Amino acid sequence: MSYARDRIYLDADSHLMELPDFLTAHADPGIRDRIPQINFDAGGRSSDSWQAAAESGAHPAETVAELVALGDDLIAGPKGYFALGAFNKEERGVALDLLGFQQQFVFSTFSGPIAFDPTADLELRYGATRAHNRAMAEFCSDDPRLTGVALLPLDDPEAALAEFDFAVSLGLEAMWIPHRPAGGGSPGHDALDPVWARMAEANIPFLLHVGGNPLQIKPAWMNTGRPIPTDWIGGGENVRGKDMIALHHAAETFVGTLVLDGVLERHPNLRGAVVELGAGWVPSLLRRLDLIAQIWKRSEPDLAALKTPPSEAISQQMAFTPYPFEDVGAMIRESNPDLYLFSSDYPHIEGGRNPLGRFAASLDGMSEEILDKFYARNMADLLRH
């Protein structure tokens, strides 16, 4: 019997764990030697065993048998490179059978910051992007349950359009974009409107995800005169307690800017989601944006032109993944049930060992309609399924 049962579950966040040649093996020859090596040390415990994974490309048969024997406890078993299906696509299909999710978004783990690095030149950014998208498409190619997520930097609108079309031609069905200013401008800049229009026409959602912007707050905030802690998975370059204060701030700014610049209103078929950045901040964002639009429309033409309240536009066109430790029931009561998505984060440690149990506890007493939206319908709507 699978871990998820008795209803349809669509998983808005899962990952593959890249092998060392994930990018270089799929890069164009002219850029291959310039692509930086993946920094496995940043992953802490999540990166344990990457050397063994790189040597074999698959778990030993006896290890696969041990993992399969976990059955519906697979999600509580080994994580990172130790997990079933973490880096081998044949194993991933077996893992999905045991997990019981009918569909998963699949994000990379280490490649995004390479392609999204604002200090790198555009040739490197888009060269790494193309390599990633080829590799992601290959990993997801044989199982329709795996919805591969492409990378898409927005820094050069023409290059972004070309890469969007290429990614779609590979069969990738969602675009991970960095949640920062695009090429020195707002994501609502006129030059980017063709990119948003192309996404809307193609029914391809954009996704913001942790790692699409620096994870850590400025070092001065960590200076207490005492030793600076490492992150909880031991990497030193991941999220620490104080980082969680601000981790969602850049995504919140991106979403707010996108709405107030009129992008959602100009492209009513555009859909997007914010993934692995929590969602406890969403109800207050909706209230704040409605107030901003109401008050500042007197002096700002873009706001005066909005015909739909920001909260309504976001509820119709966007969604967010709560962390398992957040109270999604309270969020729904403060806003509405159309906004939130189930996610497992498999095979990352951060997803926990029983996300369904934790979400179920906070959703206790909710109607079957609300549960269906959270576990499946909202993601299906995001994908137009």
Q: Give the pLDDT score at 127.
A: 98
Tell me the residue range of the domain where 199 lies: 10-382
CA-to-CA separations, 284 to 227, 291, 308, 331, in angstroms, rounded: 34, 11, 18, 10
299: in domain: yes
39-53 tens-digit pLDDT: 787 767 778 788 989
pLDDT > 90 fraction of the chain, expressed in percent and rounded: 91
Q: Looking at residue 51, which CATH number applies to its domain?
A: 3.20.20.140
Rg (CA), the chain: 20
On whether residue 378 sits in a domain, the answer given is yes
Other Cβ atoms closer than 10 A to 310: 26
Residue 51, C-beta contacts closer than 8 angstroms, at least 6 positions apart: none
CA distance linking residue 178 with residue 153, whole number of Å: 6
pLDDT, tens only, 182-211: 999 999 999 999 999 999 999 999 999 999
- Over the stretch 109-126, which tens digit does the pLDDT of each residue have? 999 999 999 999 999 999
Please count the other Cβ atoms lying within 10 Å of the Cβ belonging to residue 73: 12
Strands 103-107 and 10-15: parallel
Task: Give me the sign of the Cα torsion angle 162, 163, 167, 170.
Answer: positive
Give the count of domains, the chain.
Answer: 1
With respect to residue 313, please indicate whether it lies within any of the assigned structural domains.
Answer: yes
For CA atoms 35, 249, 216, 181, give the dihedral sign.
positive
| Positive or negative: CA dihedral 263, 206, 210, 372 | positive
* 317 belongs to a structural domain: yes
Residue 2 in any domain: the answer is no
Distance CA 375, CA 32 (A): 40
Residue 45 lies in a domain: yes
Q: With beta carbons less than 8 A apart as the criterion, state whether 207 and 105 touch.
A: yes
290 and 243 Cβ atoms separated by less than 8 Å: no
Whether 276 is in a domain gets the answer yes
Residue 4 belongs to a domain: no
What pLDDT does residue 235 have?
A: 59
Pairwise CA distance, residues 90 & 94, whole Å: 7
pLDDT score for 234: 66
